[in-house]
Amino acid sequence: MDPEVLKQAPLFRGLEDDAVAALSAAMGTVKLARGEVLFHEGDSEDRLYVVVSGKIKLGRSGSAGRENLLAVLGPGQMFGELSVFDPGPRSTTATAVTPSELRVLEHDELNGWLTGNPEVAQGLLGQLAGRLRRANDVVADLVFSDVPGRVAKALLDLASRFGDRRDDGVHVHHDLTQEELAQLVGASRETVNKALADFAARGWIRLEPRSVTLLDVERVERRAR
Ligand code: CMP
């Protein structure tokens, strides 16, 4: 299994190599096809997942059947920790955006590691704190930023994880449909498309199916502020 990807996950941060190997050996593997649902919002299940390859979207359904995407996770990112620490239903639906491979840790197994290794507890606390910070930012953006500002932010966030620097800019193969991008920004598809078309017309980005190239990162960053 790919220890380098696993070591990026907060669960493994601070662990010595032999502990990484032991924790990794305690985990199972899950493979998902594109579009396959791992769990649904409301399910009672309390395992912890680390993405090894592919992309997982975490969504919630709102009123009138509208979907909202809270995050799209890639290799080295972790999810499912809320039900571990606050036993209750899953807060989102997790769906594979592309064929994906995950590692999974059972609740009881994790508990043993939490009591025996303060590094594991610190890693998970770090993830929770980071999640709260980002959630606060998202709330502030919904109140204070316009849709183009939120689109710019979403593009930069996707670029930070899925971006690939090329001669003409940063190529971001996000694998999301226009509808999913809009769900991630929390606005209608029409408004998000308008913002993207405007950025493209200004020469800041180039739109491609399920990907985007940031041609002028600085301008996108300024628009995100
Ligand atoms: P849990 O509620 O067990 O299952 C769904 C998971 O989605 C949740 O744990 C978190 O790991 C993850 N999750 C929930 N909200 C967010 C968010 N705003 N950003 C990123 N991940 C989230």
Both 133 and 152 in one domain: the answer is no
The last residue of one of the domains, among 95, 119, 142, is 142
- CATH number of the domain that residue 159 is part of: 1.10.10.10
pLDDT value at position 1?
Answer: 54
pLDDT value at position 67?
Answer: 86
pLDDT value at position 119?
Answer: 87
- Count CA atoms within 13 Å of residue 92 on its CB side: 18
Q: How far apart are CA 158 and CA 81, in angstroms?
A: 22
pLDDT value at position 85?
Answer: 83
Residues of the chain scoring pLDDT < 50: none
Kindly report the protein residue whose alpha carbon is nearest to atom 18 of ligand 1.
70
Both 212 and 164 in one domain: the answer is yes
State which amino acid sits at residue 97: V
Kindly report the protein residue whose alpha carbon is nearest to atom 20 of ligand 1.
71
- CATH number of the domain that residue 16 is part of: 2.60.120.10
Residue 107 Cβ contacting ligand 1 at under 6 Å: no
The total domain count for the chain is 2
Kindly report the protein residue whose alpha carbon is nearest to atom 6 of ligand 1.
80
Both 168 and 116 in one domain: the answer is no
Contact 121, 169 (CB under 8 A): no
Name which of 131, 138, 75, 66 is nearest 101 in CA terms. Answer: 75
List Cα–Cα distances, 54 to 34, 99, 101, 187, in angstroms: 9, 6, 7, 25
Both 127 and 198 in one domain: the answer is no
Residue 11 Cβ contacting ligand 1 at under 6 Å: no
Q: What's the CA-to-centroid distance between 186 and ligand 1, angstroms?
A: 16
Q: How far apart are CA 187 and CA 212, in angstroms?
A: 19
> CA dihedral defined by 198, 199, 205, 208, rounded to 10 degrees?
-40
The last residue of one of the domains, among 86, 109, 142, is 142
pLDDT value at position 7?
Answer: 84
Q: How far apart are CA 126 and CA 109, in angstroms?
A: 20
Q: pTM for this one?
A: 0.91
Kindly report the protein residue whose alpha carbon is nearest to atom 16 of ligand 1.
70
Q: Phi-psi category of 64—alpha, beta or left, where left has phi over 0 and alpha has psi -120 to 50?
A: left
Residue 157 Cβ contacting ligand 1 at under 6 Å: no
The last residue of one of the domains, among 142, 174, 196, is 142
Both 160 and 81 in one domain: the answer is no
Both 192 and 213 in one domain: the answer is yes
Residue 128 Cβ contacting ligand 1 at under 6 Å: no
Both 100 and 21 in one domain: the answer is yes
Domain range enclosing 72 = 3-142
